[in-house]
Amino acid sequence: MTIRKPEDLVTPLDFSGMDQELLKTLFLRMVRAREFEEQLYYLFLTTKMPGTMHQATGQEAVAVGVASVLNKDDYVTSNHRGHGHCIAKDVPLDLMMAEMFAKRNGVCKGMGGSMHLCDFSKGMLGAFGIVGAGIPIASGAALSAKVRGTQQVAVSFFGDGAINEGVFHESLNMASLWKLPVVYVIENNQYALSMPNELVSAVTDLSTRGCGYNIPGETVDGNNVTAVYKAASRAVERARKGEGPFLLECITYRMRGHARFEPAEYRNKEEVELWSQYDPIKRFKEAALETGVLTEAGLSAIEEQVEHEIEAAIAFAQAGEDVGAEDYKQFIYELDNTTKDGLK
Amino acid sequence: MRQLSLADAIREAMIQEMRRDSSVILMGEDVGRFNGAFHVSHGMLDEFGPTRVWDTPISEAGFMGMGIGAALTGLRPIIEFQYADFMFCAMDQIVNEAAKLRLMSGGQASVPLVMRAPQGATGRAAQHSQSVEAYFMHTPGLYLAMPSTPYDAKGLMISAIRSNDPVLILEHKLLYGAASPGGGKALTDQTISDIGSDVPEEAYTIPLGKADVKRAGTDVTIIATLIMVHRALAVAAELEKEGISCEVIDPRTLVPLDEETILESVKKTNRVVIASEDVARGGVGSELTAMIARKAFDHLDAPVACVSADNSPIPFGPAAELRVVPQISDIRQAVYQVLKD
Ligand SMILES: Cc1ncc(C[n+]2csc(CCOP(=O)(O)OP(=O)(O)O)c2C)c(N)n1
Ligand SMILES: [Mg+2]
């Protein structure tokens, strides 16, 4: 069995046509996403953080490179590994952290937790715990934008595992048929839980999966935020112009286990070590300093800023009120709801 | 005798049947290389190899349908759904095809397959927590088994594999036993007893449709499934000290339902509590209540009390999950209620 070798995929970062503000934003969002994930790990160990989580450590360049192309009112759907997508779409860290702690001031009022983060004020329509579920939903948001005559675009982030669900195929066909403004982003971290691509997908060049639906595709180095950004720009622009959907495969690597403390024993150590040398944040920093587009001081200032933001988010979350036993009753229906005792 | 966990018991049943009958195969997500998300299929890929143990893509509708195709043509597939919630992705194949083929074909078709799925609320929010039995109890053509103990699990699993009709086995994540990642006893829940963990080594069957009286009593009948059996037993032990004698009945299979054992108990105690984790509306409690009302109305001294989940998706916040899902205190309250007059 072969796992992709980073040497064969890696492309150099290319800062051309990207101004300093943009580069700082990309770095800021990636560092936020990284720190958020890494802090969660310790919070799960040391506090009473409930539930489970799926860290996207190492995959920051995909979420950030794509979402940074989008406008605030563009739509995103995400999957179980969604913290980074939310952060890249500027969902506030404190509200996310409070949600992780199941607090009333969480972004979903403590009702959804890690796997169901969403923030409609940011166009973030939901992380879904059902693999593939976000794909038709993003496509529907794109259909809605078309019907309403807005210029909005929808992006669906999903994993390499999700392309084997029927809804992937059904959605791609309809989106192509109806030329919907949707960009499908396969976040190919090379595993679906224990299963490497090659054991579950008849083609391993995943961006070719659009062929049968007349949807163009491209595969990019997903640990290269400038490459992701540029490819996403082309895809989003195309969609906005009414030219239809695009299938973007971003090859990356999951640096942690599948969920919470899952040890990922199905991967060998050398592979994990090799891929961690291609850490997207590390690569960005090195390239930025080497080319002089950003300074050491500039980068450190951002890292410090994030450290404070995360600290503040944790403090905000921990000070929040726990979800109450009856809170859920207000969220089952819009109108006064029906619970065990019938209509109240 | 040896004590086994529920996960171990199910695995032993599958392995013994696979050794005995080469037409039995296992399919599902991460069941092979990863030994199953809850380690129920630990070591099975090693023993049986990839033509008997199939690691599938994440394609529930597809592999469920393939299970049916294989079952129609000589195999006896066991299909594992990683969580019961994901069965909904395969609903068409389960409900429209597997359950109906025998009738639609005028008896030509047999669909000898087993579906297995872990269910129950364990802090994983709305899409990884559901108790799905009512959907399938409502689907004629399927059998539905719900083992609460390792002993029952092994015997029911072997019967299911040998059945010529599709059987769904719903397992509760909290009952798997400590070695199962994400399963095992909940820290907050000290109620899972060791009953039924003595499991014979040799293969044995428990017929589908045979309830088990987990504890005999005279004042009130508690009918319970899965983890609620353990919670009901905890209540029964407590109430004994107050001089209240509870009979705890586990139907073990909801389809077919052992009405006789239930009605016999109702006629003895005249008071009934039904405890199950699915939501109240259109659920197991309602169905059993209706059956008892139809067949033993004259024997009831109090309205039947149903202890079920509130009619809500499972919320994430732990306090809210605890409120939605029936706890020991809810069962105890219900017993007091049916004993009131
Ligand atoms: C419909 C459905 N089937 C199975 C699962 C269990 N599950 C959760 S994540 C996962 C692997 C997903 O792999 P991929 O799409 O590549 O995303 P990744 O975890 O690698 O980010 C599986 C099998 C699920 N949540 N939903
Ligand atoms: Mg993956």
Question: Catalytic one among B128, B172, B230, B287?
Answer: B128
Domains B3-198 and B212-340 share a fold: yes
Assigned domain for A344 exists: no
Distance between CA atoms of residues B216 and B237, nearest Å:
11
Q: What is the pLDDT of residues A305-336, one digit of tens each?
A: 999 999 999 999 999 999 999 999 999 999 86
Write down the pLDDT at residue B136: 98
Residue A10, SS3 per DSSP:
coil
Write down the pLDDT at residue B177: 83
Chain-centroid distance of CA A37 in Å reads 12
CB pairs under 8 A between A and B: 137
Write down the pLDDT at residue A338: 55
Interface contact A200-B62, CB threshold 8 A? no
> Looking at the complex, does the CB of residue A107 fall below 8 Å from at least one CB of chain B?
no
Judge if the beta carbon of residue A257 lies within 6 A of ligand 1.
no
Nearest CA to ligand 1 atom 19: A192
Q: What percent of chain B has pLDDT over 70?
A: 96
Residues in chain A closer than 8 A to B126 (CB atoms): 111-112, 116, 129
C-alpha distances in Å from residue A55, one per residue of A13, B223, B280: 24, 42, 35
Assigned domain for A334 exists: no
Q: pLDDT at residue A3 above 80?
A: no
Q: Are B178 and B197 in contact (CB under 8 A)?
A: no
Judge if the beta carbon of residue A192 lies within 6 A of ligand 1.
yes
Write down the pLDDT at residue B22: 98
Range list of H helices, A190-224: 197-200
Ligand number, closest to the Cα atom of A188: 2
Please, what is the average pLDDT of chain A? 95
Across B12-107, the runs of DSSP E, i.e. the strands, are 24-28, 53-55, 76-80
Residue among B30, B61, B86 whose CB faces A130 most closely: B86
Residues in chain A closer than 8 A to B57 (CB atoms): 161, 164, 192, 195, 200-201
Q: pLDDT at residue A47 above 70?
A: yes
> Looking at the complex, does the CB of residue B267 fall below 8 Å from at least one CB of chain A?
no
Domain that residue A27 falls in:
19-322
Kindly give the interhelix angle for B227-240 and B328-339, rounded to the nearest 10 degrees: 60
B304 closest CA partner among B329, B269, B253, B277:
B269
Rg value, chain A, Cα: 20
Residues in chain B closer than 8 A to A114 (CB atoms): 125
A180 closest CA partner among A208, A218, A138, A209:
A138
Residues 6+ positions from B309 with CB-CB distance below 8 Å = B121, B131, B277, B278, B279, B280, B283, B324, B325, B326
Query: Phi-psi category of B229—alpha, beta or left, where left has phi over 0 and alpha has psi -120 to 50?
Result: alpha
Query: For ligand 1, what atom is nearest to the CA of residue A132?
Result: 1
Across chain B, the runs of DSSP E, i.e. the strands, are 24-28, 53-55, 76-80, 114-119, 143-145, 167-172, 212-215, 220-224, 246-250, 253-255, 272-279, 305-309
> Looking at the complex, does the CB of residue B34 fall below 8 Å from at least one CB of chain A?
yes
Assigned domain for A137 exists: yes
For residues B282-298, give the mean pLDDT. Answer: 98
Residue among A116, A199, A338 whose CB faces B125 most closely: A116
Interface contact A323-B316, CB threshold 8 A? yes
Q: How many domains is chain A partitioned into structurally? A: 1
Write down the pLDDT at residue A203: 96
Which residues share a beta bridge with B128?
none
Write down the pLDDT at residue A261: 86
A65 closest CA partner among A106, A101, A18:
A18
Please give the distance, rounded to the nearest whole angstrom, from the Cα atom of residue B82 to the centre of ligand 1: 10
Rg value, chain B, Cα: 19
Judge if the beta carbon of residue A222 lies within 6 A of ligand 1.
no
Q: What percent of chain B has pLDDT over 90?
A: 94
What residue has token string 């450290």?
Answer: A307
Distance between CA atoms of residues A135 and A162, nearest Å:
9
Dig out the tokens for B272 from the structure.
Answer: 């009934």
Statement: B212-340 belongs to CATH 3.40.50.920? yes
Please give the distance, rounded to the nearest whole angstrom, from the Cα atom of residue A192 to the centre of ligand 2: 4
Q: What is the pTM of this model?
A: 0.96
Q: Residues B288-299, buried b or exposed e (16+ Cβ, 10 A)?
A: bbeebeeebeee
Amino acid identity for residue A90 in this structure: D
Residues in chain B closer than 8 A to A50 (CB atoms): 123, 316-318
Question: Catalytic one among B12, B17, B60, B259?
Answer: B60
How high is the ipTM of this complex? 0.95
Query: Phi-psi category of B123—alpha, beta or left, where left has phi over 0 and alpha has psi -120 to 50?
Result: left
Please give the distance, rounded to the nearest whole angstrom, from the Cα atom of residue B291 to the centre of ligand 1: 40
Amino acid identity for residue B329 in this structure: S
Judge if the beta carbon of residue A84 lies within 6 A of ligand 1.
no
With CA atoms as reference, the chain B residue closest to A260 would be B182
The secondary structure of A107-160, three-state, reads CCCCCCCHHHCCEHHHCEEEECCCCCCHHHHHHHHHHHHHHHCCCCCEEEEEEC
A320 secondary structure, DSSP code? S
B244 closest CA partner among B329, B305, B332:
B332
CATH number where A137 lies:
3.40.50.970
Write down the pLDDT at residue A343: 40
Query: For ligand 1, what atom is nearest to the CA of residue A59?
Result: 21
Q: What is the pLDDT of residues B181-231, one digit of tens each?
A: 765 555 445 578 889 999 999 999 999 999 999 999 999 999 999 999 999
Residue B216, SS3 per DSSP:
coil
Cα angle: A130, vertex A259, A189; to 5 degrees: 80
A334 secondary structure, DSSP code? S
Q: Which helix (DSSP H) or strand (DSSP E) does residue B64 occupy?
A: helix B60-72
Ligand number, closest to the Cα atom of A190: 2
Q: How sure is the predictor about B298, in pLDDT bands with cuts at 50, 70 and 90?
A: very high
> Looking at the complex, does the CB of residue A340 fall below 8 Å from at least one CB of chain B?
yes
Q: What is the pLDDT of residues B92-111, one digit of tens each?
A: 999 999 999 999 999 999 99
Please, what is the average pLDDT of chain B? 96
Residues in chain A closer than 8 A to B86 (CB atoms): 130-131
The structural domains of chain B, with segments of one domain joined by +, span 3-198, 212-340
Residue A260, SS3 per DSSP:
coil
Nearest CA to ligand 1 atom 17: A159
C-alpha distances in Å from residue A308, one per residue of A42, A44, A93, A311, B192: 16, 20, 11, 5, 44
Burial status of residue A268 (CB atoms within 10 A of its CB: 0-12, 13-18, 19 or more): exposed
Statement: B3-198 belongs to CATH 3.40.50.300? no
For residues A149-153, give the mean pLDDT. Answer: 98
Q: Are A103 and A317 in contact (CB under 8 A)?
A: yes
Nearest CA to ligand 1 atom 20: A192
Residues 6+ positions from B11 with CB-CB distance below 8 Å = B40, B41, B42, B43, B44
Assigned domain for A338 exists: no
Write down the pLDDT at residue A281: 98
Write down the pLDDT at residue A335: 86
Which residues share a beta bridge with A182?
A154
Query: For ligand 1, what atom is nearest to the CA of residue A188?
Result: 16
Q: Are A316 and A98 in contact (CB under 8 A)?
A: yes
